[in-house]
Amino acid sequence: MSKTEKARTRSADLAVSLYQELRARGASSYDKVVADLELDIDERERCRTELLNLGLIVPTNSKHDSRLDVESGAPPEAETDTVAVIDPEIALLRLLQREQQRLQAHLAEADRSYSTLESLAGRFLRPGTLTKGSEVEVEVLTDYRRIQQVLEDMSHVVQHEEALMHPGTLQREYPERVLERDRRQLDKGVRIRAIFNQRFASVPEQAAYFRRKAEQGAEIRMSPVVPMNMVIADHHFALIPLDPSNPTLGAILARGAALVRSYLALYEYCWHTATPYGEVVNSEQGGDGLTEQQRAALRMLASGMKDEKIARSMGVSLRTVSRMLSELMAELGASSRFEAGVRAARLGWLD
């Protein structure tokens, strides 16, 4: 037995002995009883506190005064150190009653807090309250800390599926935070799907992140083109950039199936055209000799997208895009980029 345990045992034994002595004497001076038992100052205070907390003794007060004694000059009971002894059965009942009252107070406070939170955040915490797609809400978020908190909130309330895509690199501290969120969701049985730019699979830190994410149970696909950041939770919440060409400006939080299903359709298209993580991507498609990166650049060129946006979407430099498009124009025999897009479409290079 350790010294601490021995001290506790001795303290309990002393409290029991003191209580038995007080009970044998009836209401009496506390100081006199502890002096007779030869308890030191620390033991005396420790036993008094313990017996008072258990309700086994109570200080006497004006209710215990004898009118004859007071009239004859004796001090009132409230001014003495006399204590009255309470039977263990009564003390136990009082202790249980006190704890019951305390528990009821805690429950009442918890109920008030729940009602307040429910009224303030009911729409966000309970996607089912949104009527079948007829009700939508949009919130613009420009503070980075608020955006991170929304991501945390979504990870806590998602119950079935989270779908995300990320076109760029992750900050050094960001992967660990995301992986921890993934672990919480996967433990709840949530399906996680993620699309990343395949260019970053060759970056050691990013490759390690993709591997760890997949090992935890997330489904990952790689694509040469990822149009924007996007997080969709349970088909009810979507977090997208305020401006896809400049993610630093902020984000939009969309609530409601009627609005989110549009973003989900875009996501599903990107998901089905992406390559499952771990599969070897054939760099040549058909007999054209085009790589997936070149084919993606042609599609964006044909859609009228400018070089700057193509570079951001593909995660490459503007110089790389300019060189790639010049090579494609030369191969197509086109004198302009518009002509290159038209010829590529006619030849079926965009299929």
Query: For 149-174, what is each residue's pLDDT tens digit?
Result: 888 888 888 889 999 998 876 665 57
Higher-confidence residue of 211 and 278: namely 211
Measured CA distances, 258 to 240, 261, 332 (Å): 16, 6, 43
More confident residue, 298 or 263: 263
For residue 49, what are its two tokens? 């506190």
The model scores a pTM over 0.85: no
- pLDDT at site 130: 41
Q: The tokens 């205070």 sit on which residue?
A: 45
Q: Is the pLDDT of residue 256 over 80?
A: yes
Higher-confidence residue: 38 or 292? 38
99-103, 160-164, 294-298: least confidently modelled range: 294-298
Q: How far, CA to CA in Å, does 146 sit from each of 75, 121, 173?
A: 66, 15, 17
User: Are 196 and 166 contacting, i.e. CB atoms less than 8 angstroms apart?
Assistant: yes
Whether 116 has a pLDDT exceeding 80, the answer reads no
pLDDT band at 346 (very low <50, low <70, confident <90, very high): low
C-alpha to C-alpha distance for 149 and 327, rounded to whole angstroms: 45
State the Cα–Cα distance between residues 272 and 111, nearest whole angstrom. 46
Round the average pLDDT of the chain to a whole number and report it: 80
- What pLDDT is recorded for position 313? 78
Residue 271 CB-density burial (10 A; 0-12 exposed, 13-18 middle, 19+ buried) = middle
Confidence tier at 131 by pLDDT (50, 70, 90): very low
Q: How confident is the model at residue 217 (pLDDT cuts 50, 70, 90)?
A: very high
Q: Residue 327's Cα: distance from chain center in Å?
A: 48
The pLDDT of residue 119 = 64
Mean pLDDT lowest for which of 1-15, 185-199, 227-241?
1-15
- Specify whether the CB–CB gap between 284 and 290 falls below 8 A: yes
The whole-angstrom separation of Cα 62 and Cα 22 is 20
Pairing of strands 219-223, 191-197: parallel
